[in-house]
Amino acid sequence: MNAARLPSVAPEVTATLVEGLSPRLRKRLDVAVTKLAARPTHRDGDTTTIDVDDETELRLHAPGGVVAKVEDITCRCLLAPACVHRAAAACAAPAADLAPEPAEQATPEAPGPASATPPAATLGPDAARSLGLDVAPASGPGTAPAPTTDTAANAALGLAPHVTPNPAPDLASPPETASPDQRAAADVLWAAGAAVLEAGVDGAGAVTQSALLRAAHTARLRHLPRAAGAALSVVTLLRAARAGDPSYRTADLVTALAELLGTAHRVGTASGAEMAAVRGRVRRPYSPDGSLRLYGLFTEPVVTDSGHGGVRTWVAGADGRLFTVGDVAPGGAGRALGVADRAVRLGDSALTHRELGRAGLAVSGATVSPDGRLGAGKAVKAVTARGVAWTDPPLAALWETPPAEQAARALRSTSRYADRDGTGSDLLFLHVELLGAVREPGGTCLLALCEGGVRVRLTVSDDDPALAHRDNLALLAAAPGARLRIIGRLIPATQPRLTLLACTHPTGEGTVDLGLDRLRRADLPDPSASAHFAPPQTAGPGGSSPLYLLERRVEQTVAAGRAALGLLGDVTAETRRIRRGGLPTAAALLTALSASAAQRERDLFGRLLPADTDGFAAYWLAAARYTAAVSESLCAAAWNPMDEDPAAVPPVPVHGAAG
């Protein structure tokens, strides 16, 4: 049984079913999920049936594609409804996206004393001193470190400090803060996330996931959709990891867990605009944007790991703003290729997506989401208009910004823990000279030289052989010396790196959508050329950074849990190497993280006391956020012109950076 064949199940349904199991059945739940995954399924309308055995059927009724009520999952076994099968089916199915928030709004708490800092705010003295914080000395051996202040804890965790505003005039309303119910929901989210770190992927089975789903549901009811969405992301990634999904990456789970823990911590200290960002929103609304004159840039195929396929066409306004028109639905790469030649769903335009990428639109009554997606409501009117070449205004201006500034803008847009405002994009517009292919451990990429002498590595956006990316990149590698305008998507790395999406044609006539249009050898300046391999390249700024030693421990915690990290032994050699690399804060965080993982105190009778899961989670969060911030800074530095002193260039603002 493929989980993708099952209907989505609302988080509260899964949590309720798991919570209703007896302790004995909870121990058998993970085994039951695995067994159920091997059973055949079939769908009839809104009902999906799983053959538990030759005589027993399990049914999931999903009107609208989502199982929204506990009674919509039924089983015909003798132990039903208290059997393990219903809970196992809910755990095997995908978690449904969050429903919109309830209509009523939470009442802001009256201004008063600052709320109690969540357990995550307690850090040991070594980590605190490494971050430049003053910590009162312990009163004696074995004494627990004194809790830091809210400001110190936030700084150590890489979060924005809580600043108490000056008293406002009597007529001004107090800044929004979290209500007691929201703080309580955030504490539950923190505890659920800390439990995942304690157990690791292998130990975070259905029961641990159920606690996350319950916490997500509660957070949604308390108007905390951002944290609730992070919890659902953690559950989805845990399931992918445990199922051996080839698309799973530990780094993605690290990001989701750090987002969950960081957001839960900030709920108790945020106020005003920061509180609005921490709270987030379930759905991004479309807002009116009047009349727009749009110019096509390119069309890219979109193929997702969940089996969806389609295209996204990028257009630019007269003022340089970027917009997208998309069409993505279940179907994979085959659908992506077909949809490219279908009409765009926008007003009365008869243009296909391929055509729009090279033409233009005049839109009246436009609606735009914060991330630049154009709405297709009934009131939107659009007619075909003339397009322009990339070398003509207003599109030509996109290539006039220096690469370092473009990379800084893209990093702000893609920062892993930034408060999303929907502005900006991760696209870069560069003039390049192709140098040839470069062999790397993960495969071969195309090396190009852009403004300022920066050497950038160009890789495929999607390796699916049905798409044209891979073949086109190989052909471009056979054209060293060719000068092109390109559009690529930034890949945060210690060396300049992009996924190549579109370029001017090597012959200088028109443009190429590299995922859809296929180049031929006759299109190259020298048809007899073969792939040219550039000489080995030295590492750029940060290429030999020892930061990976801390990143490795952060990922090992997620994979194996706190106890396994505590068994990895002395980290003195690693911290010494990190300090030599100029990262003393990283060394201090690694020391504190390893010590916290190994720390287990005993009572007067020599029995082990429960581990300090909250304290360990705080150290892990600080390490995860710190490594992300430093990685982004190294990426920004790599795009500086080769003859420019990196210290003379303003650093890229990083969000939630520790140290």
Mean per-residue pLDDT for 335-362?
92
Q: What angle do CA 521, 524, 527 make, to 5 degrees?
A: 60
Mean pLDDT value across residues 22-28: 94
Query: Is residue 28 within 8 Å of residue 84, measured between CB atoms?
Result: yes
Say yes or no to pLDDT of 646 above 60: no
DSSP state of 167: P
Per the structure block, which two tokens stand in for 279? 């709270």
- Whether residue 301 contacts residue 337, with contact meaning beta carbons closer than 8 Å, is answered with yes
Cα–Cα distance, 212 to 217 (Å, whole number):
9
Residue 461 CA to its chain's centroid (Å)? 17
Please give the average per-residue pLDDT across 381-395, as a whole number.
94
Q: What is the pLDDT of residue 524?
A: 82
Rounded Cα distance, 524 and 504, in Å: 12
Please report the pLDDT score of residue 614 as a whole number. 93
- Beta-bridge partner residues of 455: 449
Sheet holding 73-75, edge to edge: 41-44, 47-51, 57-61, 73-75
Output 92 or 125, whichever has higher pLDDT: 92
The proportion of the chain whose per-residue pLDDT surpasses 90, expressed as a percent, equals 61
The pLDDT assigned to 139 comes to: 35
254: number of Cβ within 10 Å: 23
Question: Tens digits of per-residue pLDDT, 586-620?
Answer: 999 999 999 999 887 777 877 877 788 999 999 99
What DSSP string describes 589-600?
Answer: HHHHHHHHHH--
At 538, is the pLDDT very low, low, confident or very high (cuts 50, 70, 90)? low
34-38, 116-120, 247-251, 517-521: segment of lowest average pLDDT: 116-120
Which amino acid is located at 467 in the chain? Answer: L
332 Rama class: left (phi>0) / alpha (psi -120 to 50) / beta: left
Q: Which tops the pLDDT comparison, 536 or 221?
A: 221
How far apart CA 282 and CA 375 sit, in angstroms, is 18
Q: What per-residue confidence (pLDDT) applies to 190?
A: 97
